[in-house]
Chains A and B, each alone.
Chain A
Amino acid sequence: MRGVITFAVFLIVWWAVTQFCPVPPYMLPTPQSVAAALVAQRNLLFDNTLVTLAEILLGLFFGTLLGALAALTMAALPPVQRWLMPVLVLSQAIPVFALAPLLVLWFGFGMTSKIIMTILVIFFPVTASLADGLRLTEPGWLDMAAAMNASRLSALCHIRLPAALPSFASGLRVATALAPIGAIIGEWVGASSGLGYVMINANARIQTDVMFAALFVLCVLAVLLFTIVDRALRHLIYWAPDSRRGVS
């Protein structure tokens, strides 16, 4: 309900600006013309949304997989952590967006370069959140595991990993919010399809209404994706402090 009200207020302000301020339509189109563009270009938008969605989902999947593997390896083998963590932190100092042209050069105009871009954007939050979670296990649990004669691997699987999942979930939420950015940046630099490609094209032809329509679709997509992931994480990781229900 709050979302609907916020959206309605936003629309009214937007409409008022286009109505009462001397802004030409190629700078800021009216809400009506954007809605008309949404309807008129629905096939174009739908097809390209599917491409962007596929890039986002595949990037999220592989980024999460690789990030989780990296964090688990670091937790299982402390020497790896000492070597890998500085490299990871250093990798964050390179602006990933500056790599986009290189990725297009190496992996082409297709989806691969966008998926890799998305993976690069989300890899660090995913890895750092799980690695932190694995590092900060309640010491009492580890003592208990030691007193129960658990092996290191067994304690990792049955105690440290589930205990780290709430922290991992925070990383996944950040990753879900960042993933569309990765895909769109990749498409801006060089693509033959996708919502980013539609935006760049519409912009070049001064079809600002189409550009806004694509942006609107992207926002809806990002919000929906985040909501679904957030709900799913709350349900699956029911022991996280922010998804607690029932009696405490």
Chain B
Amino acid sequence: MSPCPSLYVQNLALHYGGQTIFENLNLTIQSGQLVALLGPSGVGKTSLLRIIAGLEVPYAGQVTASDHAPLSGRIAYMAQQDLLLPWARVIDNVMLGAKLRGMKPEPDRAMNLLERVGLAERAKALPTELSGGMRQRVAIARTLYEARPIVLMDEPFSALDAITRTKIQDLAAELLAGCTTLLITHDPMEACRISHHLVVLTGAPARLGAPVEVPGIPPRAPDNLQVLQTQADLLRMLAQ
């Protein structure tokens, strides 16, 4: 994988239906760091992610990388749903990107990734035969198969039960280590456990709060005192 650039979001503005969703929004994600973005529903988190992914056009502002190369083709995007194709076997879902770009699929690399998410023996299964947690692990393998230096994730674990979610958070933190990652989440615990630092987007028009640092290296244990303290602070901040 090419070295991961830092990501700069500069003076971003988005208007929707005559309303200003956000204005003058600035955010920096340092190379190889995972930043968690929290905020209430409807505040514009997903729109921000879609703009960075190039799926939506902002009203003003720009998103650039520290190496000044264009972002297109260097961003992997993981949505709220697992978006597995129900007609394709697990391994073909993992290699979907290659197929869509008309490139030669690399089954060995896909199998290797499936092994890392613990699903090598289900490579030939159809998505309907998998549990929610397994499906989300396939989605992680599919994201990693893209081997992109920048990863955007929109509440990827929100539909999972607490135990499965904790396991998959650890797995994601481990596998995404080194990628420049922005993670949207509703879950303060998730943000505190797996991010290098976190930011909160609130208000209308929405503003980004100052970055909140969680001491220690992710993934942090759920009973880590600093995780618990930061989580309590966050809940207070979000409730305001």
Contact = CB atoms under 8 A, between A and B. Distances in A.
B85 interface: yes
Contacts of A145: 100
Interface residues of B, number: 27
Interface string B53-70: 111000000000000000
A150 B77 contact: no
Interface in B129-168: 129-130, 146
Interface stretch (A9-17, A48-56, A136-144, A179-187): A136-144
B83 A150 contact: no
**Secondary structure class of chain A's binding surface, majority of residues:** helix
A206 to B, nearest CB: 55
A192 B40 CA distance: 74
A154 interface: yes
A26 interface: no
A141 B97 contact: no
A140 B79 contact: yes
A144 B84 CA distance: 10
Contacts of B50: 143
**Secondary structure class of chain B's binding surface, majority of residues:** loop
A162 B72 CA distance: 27
Interface string B69-104: 000110111011101011100000000110111100
B126 interface: yes
Nearest to A239: B86
A246 B128 contact: yes
A144 B101 contact: no
A148 interface: yes
Given A143-B77, A246-B128, A238 B83 contact: no
A247 interface: yes
B101 A150 contact: yes
Q: Which 5 A-B pairs have the closest CB atoms?
A: A150-B100, A239-B86, A147-B77, A148-B97, A239-B87
Interface of A: 138, 140-141, 143-151, 154-155, 158-159, 162-163, 165, 238-239, 244, 246-248
Interface of B: 50, 53-55, 72-73, 75-77, 79-81, 83, 85-87, 96-97, 99-102, 126, 128-130, 146
Given A147-B54, A149-B101, A239-B128, 11 more contacts: A140-B80, A141-B83, A143-B53, A143-B79, A146-B55, A148-B96, A148-B100, A149-B73, A238-B126, A239-B87, A247-B130
